[in-house]
Amino acid sequence: MEKIIQVGSLSFWTESFGDPVNPAMILIMGIAGQGVMWSDSFCESLAKDFFVIRYDHRDVGQSSHLNYMLKPYGMRDMADDVIGVLDGYSITKAHLVGSSMGGYLTQICMQRAPERLLSISLLMSTVDFSSMTKAMIGTLSATDLPPPTKEVLSGLKEIGNIDTSNFDVWLSKSLSLMRLLNGTETEFVESEWVPLLERAYGRCNQGAVPSLVHNHVMACSQGPISFYDVKPTCPVLVIHGSADPMLPVAHAEKTASYYNAELKIITGMGHARSKVFEDSLVVVLQQFCGKIC
């Protein structure tokens, strides 16, 4: 069931799956990711045990779009959006599942609104983004955590701005990005991504102000870069792929150690949720969150 939630002056596209009497679970995408990139089958599988919500961040899909130069915002604002969506459904507490940047937002939520969380699950994320952010701008980090692989860094620079005015170019560049993030341990199946990307393209706001850098990237640049000042206020699960080329697996080990979290490494998975890993992810989330319910 689709629902538009108003949070202050912004509107957010959301969609729910399952019975509202079940414990709530909100799925939080990464940079520039629409809610529909959490596949229907993934949401429906989780909805057997949970009331599942996916949504579009501000500046993607069918949620409000902003001119960042006129109305800048940061990650704390986007974390507040998550709580605003929960408010829109009258949900007191929920399991938060954040992928990549979505994991960034869940950690801010744990700091800013701990009373609203049943648990957080950090999928392909980290407690310390400094090695990644510094590598992206060509500088070194003092952290002991590894940066993205050279292939990812060079590939991201080559892909550049993805212009939505030309579907064929947009699709080609998007597939190149997904192939890059897939890693090298598991075959990249292009046919499984095309329908998801076609759907996302059809939901793009063609009237949005064009930018060489996505607004989410600029929001990330405001920080925080790490979360060593955040103390766990609820159970934490860390899920990571052994082949993640963006945030190598050492990030998962460091994050799980810091939060005293449950750690699940999925062999062969990269920085993308290929369909072959979907069932494993569902089982891990069901088992972890089910114990808390």
Look at residue 170 in the predicted model and tell me its pLDDT. 83
Look at residue 293 in the predicted model and tell me its pLDDT. 67
Interval 8-34: pLDDT, tens: 999 999 999 999 999 999 999 998 899
Sign, CA dihedral 4-46-82-216, equals negative
Look at residue 152 in the predicted model and tell me its pLDDT. 85
Residue type at 116? R
Look at residue 140 in the predicted model and tell me its pLDDT. 65
Q: How many domains does the chain have?
A: 1
In this structure, are strands 10-17 and 51-55 parallel, antiparallel, or unpaired?
antiparallel
Nearest to 272 by CA among 187, 203, 158: 187
Residue ranges in the chain modelled with pLDDT below 70: 136-142, 158-163, 206-213, 293
Look at residue 137 in the predicted model and tell me its pLDDT. 66
Q: Return the residue matching tokens 């934490």.
A: 236
Q: 167-182 and 150-159 are packed helices; what angle lies between their axes, rounded to 10 degrees?
A: 170
* Residues above pLDDT 70, as percent of the chain: 92
In this structure, are strands 94-99 and 117-123 parallel, antiparallel, or unpaired?
parallel
Look at residue 248 in the predicted model and tell me its pLDDT. 95
Q: Does an H or E element contain 254, and which?
A: helix 250-259
- Per the structure, the complete domain to which residue 97 belongs is given by 2-292
Q: 75-88 and 101-112 are packed helices; what angle lies between their axes, rounded to 10 degrees?
A: 70
Look at residue 219 in the predicted model and tell me its pLDDT. 84
Look at residue 144 in the predicted model and tell me its pLDDT. 80
Residue ranges of E strands in the chain: 2-7, 10-17, 24-28, 51-55, 94-99, 117-123, 236-241, 262-266
Long-range pairs for 265-268 at CB < 8 Å and ≥24 separation? 265/240, 265/241, 266/239, 266/240, 266/241, 266/242, 267/185, 267/241, 267/242, 268/183, 268/185, 268/186, 268/241, 268/242, 268/243
Cα-flanking dihedrals φ and ψ of residue 209, to 5°? -65, 120
CA distance 100 to 103: 5
CA distance 12 to 151: 35
CATH number, domain of 99, equals 3.40.50.1820
Q: Based on C-alpha coordinates, what's the Rg of the chain?
A: 18
Q: Return the residue matching tokens 């460091």.
A: 254
CA distance 80 to 12: 12
